[in-house]
Amino acid sequence: MIVLERFEQLKTEILGPDLIVNSLEDVDELHDKFIKLRSALILNGIMDFMPHYRGEQFFGWDINSGIFRSPLEFQDPLTAKQLEKVACQEFEKNVITDGKYLLRNVFYYEEYGKEWDLLFQGQHGGVKTTITDWTAIIQSAAYFAVELSKDPKIEKADGQLWCMLTPLDFILSHTDDNHLKNFYNQNPVSIDQYYIINPSTYLDDMDKRIYEQRMHRQRGRFFISPANVCHMPINKEATLRKYLIRVRIPHDKKKVIREALAKRGMTREYLYVQENEEMKDLAFKVNVNVYKDFNVRN
């Protein structure tokens, strides 16, 4: 049996053919299954991976970054990367001018430290970028899949929980012993591989840095695609499809799971730390100013 066939066989044996979660206990058990799958793949000499999760409110959505979702109408991914850089710079100016939500600068001594930090925090601040949010905590992802929506169509739709069986070679951290794996030495504008970025959290005075607190609370990870294909939905990329698993959350179970998460303290207030109109206006102003020619709206 070839490796890919064995890989698919083990996925089906351990996870089952049609994944559905009806309760928070099911969510917990799902994570356990992925850990079991990881052990099986290692023992069979196939691969090692770390599970990463993403929750979305509507079953059937593709995994697109904010800059390539409606109402923006980008066609050229390289243009999007250049404008993303401008947006992050505008985000920094607005935050500094506002003066209330400070940004960390502890990694600015790295070659591209400032660019990455602004990208991470801009993403959590609502700036439209080419990266997508993931997390190492399945319950955090589940919250975003069942979060109450003001749109009745979305609220009444099944949710989806994505899992990425992330190969270890995809994972970058600033503390990796292998210098080539240090993402701060790579330019985010011209990145040429798929990566999950695992940024560190700087704990000193973190209460003064609202966007980093969000990243920390959500155990945020960021998926970045090669610059020339960053406009493609992640789940439609041939290289990635075998690593992605979509789990259905029935619409009538959203409230049940949402309430169970709240009992564990997993609420919007906890995950976002704090929200106000001033912060929303900041991101909206950045998006409108930078992407004004691409039909941006709040």
Both tokens of residue 20? 């559905």
pLDDT digits (tens, 9 = 90+) for 79-130: 999 999 999 999 998 887 765 656 777 788 888 999 999 999 899 889 999 9
In 99-188, alpha helices (H)? 113-125, 138-146, 152-155
Q: What is the pLDDT of residue 297?
A: 55
Task: Residue 191: give the domain boundaries.
Answer: 3-294
SS3 212: helix
Q: What is the pLDDT of residue 1?
A: 59
CA distances from 248 to 23, 57, 157, 178, 252 (A): 11, 10, 10, 38, 12
Q: What pTM was computed for the model?
A: 0.93
Domain count, the chain: 1
